[in-house]
Amino acid sequence: MKLNKKTNIILTSLLLLLTIVLTFISGKQFSDFANYETEFVLRDDVITRVEKFSEYSPKLEGTIGDSNIYVIEGDEPGPSVLIIGGTHPNEPSGQLTATLLLENITVTKGTVYIITEANKSAFTHSQPLEASTLYYNIKTDNSTRVFKFGSRATNNTEQWPNPDVYVHRTSGQQLSSTDIRNLNRAYPGCEDGTYTEKVAYAITQCIIKNDITITIDLHEASPEYLTINAIVAHQRATSVAAKAAFKMDMLGVTISTEVSPTNLHGLSHRELGDYTNTLAFLCETSNAAQGKIRGKFTEDLILTGEDKFYEKASELGVLYADTADISERVARHVLSIVSIINAYNDIYEDQEQGKLVFGNLPEYQEIIDNGLGHYLLDSLL
């Protein structure tokens, strides 16, 4: 009896010790992930200045939400464009496209604003119950760049608890409870609101105070989602979207266009078009890692989009778009951006501010053939 009791004490102690060790390891892993800073390579001879969200939403100062806004000004004044990446960190081609532009684009006339981490808090935690990888690696010509695969929503450490029903502040529309932490349901934002609303407010005020001409919000969706490989445009921007889609179709890249629903609030393409003078667009590509048909969640799934269950779904014809690797998804976003700007230039060229003139961006097929990493700067240099 004494032996059994002693054995039980030893086993219980070992299990408790194992629990403590596993808790420490997992806690350190998530702490390291939350505090990891993704590196973006800045070209000192090209980047005009780096602004902070807190310049437009002061209460974000000192918080994780005080993201950078990279500004590239041409030699001549002209129209401007804001590229928003990192709204949803589980949609990696958005951030990677913004990074490619940051590290490559040159501007002759006009101004380009680039956000690579729109909701930085969402980069500090992972997708609940998805067993998703925390990081993914992009090989460049000389090294490897590490990026974080985060969550769709603001971390609960910045904003908690969720209400039973989320009521969009300016419209009064009732939305899903968790959408209160979704940046793309928070526009136009509020200076004294939740963390997510403060971030949305910063972006809205940046557009207003700089009178930004075009805003393009970069996203991804699962292959079974209806709005996929698409440009969604505010009603004031539909002519530009239609011409951009035509330009892409002429190059053999099919893309659909949709008008922003007037009865669905909080989204960038709706509220930024309503509350500012910008021409607002949202672009979607196909990301198998977001879907519910997929199998095991791996880094390879993020990068290649290859999954046996999606292959079968494609054979059965139940997908709205095939899966694609990360280079093709970024190539599609880059081409969408270029086509939107060129369409704007064609339609509005007679206006006083003239055209937005830029260069040094790779072609669609070049990104696919050479790989995304070829166009990301070596962070070691």
Mean pLDDT by 10 residues, the chain (381 residues): 76 91 86 93 96 98 98 97 98 98 98 98 88 94 96 96 96 96 98 98 98 98 95 98 98 97 97 98 97 93 96 95 97 98 95 95 98 89 46
* 297, 176: one domain: yes
The pLDDT, as a whole number, for residue 234 is 98
* 334, 363: one domain: yes
Parallel, antiparallel, or unpaired for β 214-221 and 135-139? unpaired
Residue 275 lies in a domain: yes
Residue 381 lies in a domain: no
Nearest Cα to Cα of residue 303 among 193, 147, 150, 178 = 147
| Cβ atoms 133, 149 nearer than 8 A | yes
C-alpha span between 100 and 140 (Å, rounded): 12
* 274, 350: one domain: yes
* 330, 218: one domain: yes
Residue 380 lies in a domain: no
The pLDDT, as a whole number, for residue 381 is 46
* 16, 161: one domain: no
**80-106 burial by CB neighbour count: b if 16+ within 10 A, else e?**
bbbbbbbbbbbbbbbbbbbbbbbbbbe
* 6, 124: one domain: no
* 260, 147: one domain: yes
SS3 category, 40: coil
> What CATH number is associated with residue 129?
3.40.630
Residue 247 lies in a domain: yes
The pLDDT, as a whole number, for residue 88 is 98
The pLDDT, as a whole number, for residue 3 is 59
Q: How many domains does the chain have?
A: 2
> Which range of residues forms the domain containing residue 18?
1-35
DSSP 156-216: TTTS-PPPSSEE-TTT--EE-GGGGG-GGGSTT--TTS-HHHHHHHHHHHHHHHHT-SEEE
The pLDDT, as a whole number, for residue 280 is 98
The pLDDT, as a whole number, for residue 2 is 53
The pLDDT, as a whole number, for residue 5 is 82
